[in-house]
Amino acid sequence: MILLLVPLLSMLVFFSYSEWANAQGFHQFLDNKIALKEIKLPESSFITAADGTIISEISADEKRIYLPDDKIPAFLKDIFVTIEDRQFYQHAGIDASAVSRALLANSQNNSIEQGGSTITQQLARNLYLTHEKSYNRKLSEVLYSYQLERKLSKKQILELYVNEIFFQNGRYGIEAASRFYFSKETKDLTKAELAFIAAIPNNPAKYDPLTHYSDTKLRQERILKQLADHGKISAEEYKQIIKETVVLHVSRREDKYPDYVTYVESELEELVAQSEGLNKDLSSPGKATRQQAKQRLAEKIKQLKQSGVVVQTALDTSLQETAEQTLERRLNTVPVQGAIVVLQHNTHQLVSLIGGKDYKLKSFNRAFQSYRQPGSAFKPLLVYGPYLEATNADIDRKISAASFCENGYCPKNYSGGSYGMVSIRRAFAHSYNTPAVRLLQETGIEESFQKLAAFHFKKVYEKDHVLSAALGGLTDGVSTLELTNAYSSFHNGYYQPARAITQVLDKQGNVLYKWQDSPVQVWSEPTAKKMKDLLHETVTSGTARKAYLPGGYTGGKTGTTNDVKDLWFVGLTEDYTAGVWIGKDHPASMLNIQSSTPHLAIWKEVMEQVN
């Protein structure tokens, strides 16, 4: 009885389909129930270095590189039409004969094994439906397929299909698969390679070439045989192609420069939030408002990452490699960590950032996520800069370096000695503590901290407005990136945060996002010049002599916290400002390595690369 009913059901499907095609009312029904919007497949986005090289592929879920119709090889189109849907260019979404065959097979097996799906049906299923094996889902698939055929051309449908299908190992679409399995673009694949890679989507797990190469090769040969049988290639060409050895060149490229990429993704959120006007809500005192803003930002970032954008950055790959190798080598034998930040202060670009030894993508990044006591490295910003700005004093003016004690606060000079009256120049270069406290007191704590407002230190609080801040005694501290950014203001008196991202482009090359920062004057020209002189004095005759670079300008300031838990050096050359931090993730003494001054050695070696 079932066998007798199968032809009747097939005829019913066929004539019903014909009636649908001629019924205007049904079209209106479909338009109301299945209103197909513009189809945009999720695509991978990329981060590039300053020289344009790709350093990271970012995507929310699917790794896909969309390939337009005119760049899809005709041979590949022939393959998919031949093996998946030979009536593709004749039918209007479903193939009645294929459906009949599937119904007959399923009735004989008393199960749903075959679907008789056309390319259009497969596309509809992947775009809008599930892979559940049921007649209800199949009917929905037919309706969506018919609607797709009404709205799109055959060329558009095949283009979407080739870009949508899954090629295993997280790759969707032919271009992403080609670059992964063969490390080249689809246009450069041979016919043997095209047929081999086209074998995968039929059963991605079974035909995964990384684990079942021989199965994939056998299916490739069957595909080529079908092409020969249907006149798409000659018998002679068939023999030649199957003899070609298919060699995989798998692109297992992990994200290059993970320290920098991790920061770029963080900065991207900041850029989008600022550009979309979300900053106010993100910092709102209302919890609900903040949460809604976070959700909007997260959705915006997800959409951006899925739209095939290019995030262009200022990364100097050569300098980044030097910095990474230097940190690893210099700290290889000691149980300490480090961070390096290098920025180009004329262009306000972040050209290198190292987040730690043996850094892994999206792990804790010590360059911008770690906040530590800055020690004496804070003196130029909070003490000497504000003092010179307020008084216009000569740097050879004398200041007491004798013992100091007030209201129970009695800081000591590093050696514990009392040096009497010394010049500001000497006090700075040798990092005496008591003169710094006296200068902060003379300028005024509040006035000095007002100068810091321009730098937007995230974890410098009002409760830090005390005399001990002159020596870097803060509640939480500062990050290496923050401190290095702030030091760049000594170059010419103006401050503008250095950015990693130069611009974000869409697929057509249009600028979507770009920083709109403006420089803010922090120091007058005389103050900036005096500060550069003091910083230079430190590397020629003070605590940072080991960082001196011959030829051109070099200046900087060291910082050491109590019990040598942190070692800092931030310095400037004519074109760059760079900061180095050395310490343990759980603060502990590093007295055993202090004499080897690893922070100065690392800074000098890195800056020799660009000096």
In CATH, 168-253 is 3.30.360.30: no
Share of the chain above pLDDT 90, in %: 79
CA distance 377 to 26: 76
What digits encode the pLDDT tens for the residues 374-417?
999 999 999 999 999 999 999 999 999 999 999 899 999 987 77
CA distance 177 to 186: 9
What digits encode the pLDDT tens for the residues 498-519?
999 999 999 999 999 999 999 9
Residue 305 CB coordination number (10 Å):
20
Q: Which residue is catalytic, options 84, 269, 321, 605? A: 84
CA distance 509 to 515: 17
Determine the 3-state secondary structure of 124 from DSSP.
Answer: helix
Is residue 566 within 8 A of residue 373, CB to CB? The reply is yes
Residue 247 CB coordination number (10 Å):
7
Using CA atoms, how far residue 234 sits from 82, 224, 225, 230, 398, in Å, is 15, 10, 10, 9, 95
pLDDT at 418: 82
pLDDT at 416: 76
pLDDT at 114: 41
Is residue 483 within 8 A of residue 568, CB to CB? The reply is yes
Q: Which residues have C-beta within 8 Å of that of residue 345, sequence separation ≥ 6? A: 488, 491, 498, 572, 575, 576, 577
Of the pLDDT bands very low, low, confident and very high (cuts 50, 70, 90), residue 115 is very low
What digits encode the pLDDT tens for the residues 121-177?
999 888 887 655 555 556 778 888 888 888 899 999 999 999 999 999 999 999 999
Determine the 3-state secondary structure of 270 from DSSP.
Answer: helix
CA distance 391 to 190: 75
What digits encode the pLDDT tens for the residues 454-464?
999 999 999 99
User: Where in the chain is CATH 3.40.710.10?
Assistant: 323-505+519-608
Determine the 3-state secondary structure of 578 from DSSP.
Answer: strand
Determine the 3-state secondary structure of 344 from DSSP.
Answer: strand
Structure tokens at 373: 């006591």
pLDDT at 32 over 50: yes
Burial of 25 (0-12, 13-18, 19+ CB in 10 A): exposed
What digits encode the pLDDT tens for the residues 465-482?
999 999 999 999 999 999
DSSP 547-570: G--SSS--EEEEEE-GGG-EEEEE
Burial of 503 (0-12, 13-18, 19+ CB in 10 A): middle
User: Where in the chain is CATH 1.10.3810.10?
Assistant: 1-33+65-164, 168-253
Phi/psi at 353 (nearest 5 deg)?
Answer: -150, 125
Model pTM score: 0.87
pLDDT at 596: 95
Which fold would CATH assign to domain 1-33+65-164? Answer: Penicillin binding protein transpeptidase fold (1.10.3810)
Is residue 425 within 8 A of residue 393, CB to CB? The reply is no
- Clarify whether 574 is annotated catalytic: no
The closest of 585, 586, 580 to 598, measured between CA atoms, is: 580
Mean pLDDT of the 183-203 span: 96
Mean pLDDT of the 519-543 span: 97
Structure tokens at 506: 């869409």
Q: Which residue is catalytic, options 10, 370, 376, 489? A: 376
The closest of 382, 405, 385 to 395, measured between CA atoms, is: 385
- Clarify whether 376 is annotated catalytic: yes
What digits encode the pLDDT tens for the residues 280-317?
999 889 999 999 999 999 999 999 999 999 999 999 99
Kindly report the average pLDDT of the chain as a whole number: 91
Q: What are 181-186's contacts with CB under 8 Å, separation 24+?
A: 181/209, 181/248, 181/249, 181/250, 181/251, 182/248, 182/249, 183/249, 183/250, 183/251, 184/249, 186/67, 186/71, 186/72, 186/73, 186/76
In CATH, 323-505+519-608 is 3.50.50.60: no
CA distance 290 to 270: 15
Q: Which residues have C-beta within 8 Å of that of residue 340, sequence separation ≥ 6? A: 323, 326, 327, 352, 353, 354, 367, 480, 578, 579, 580, 602, 606
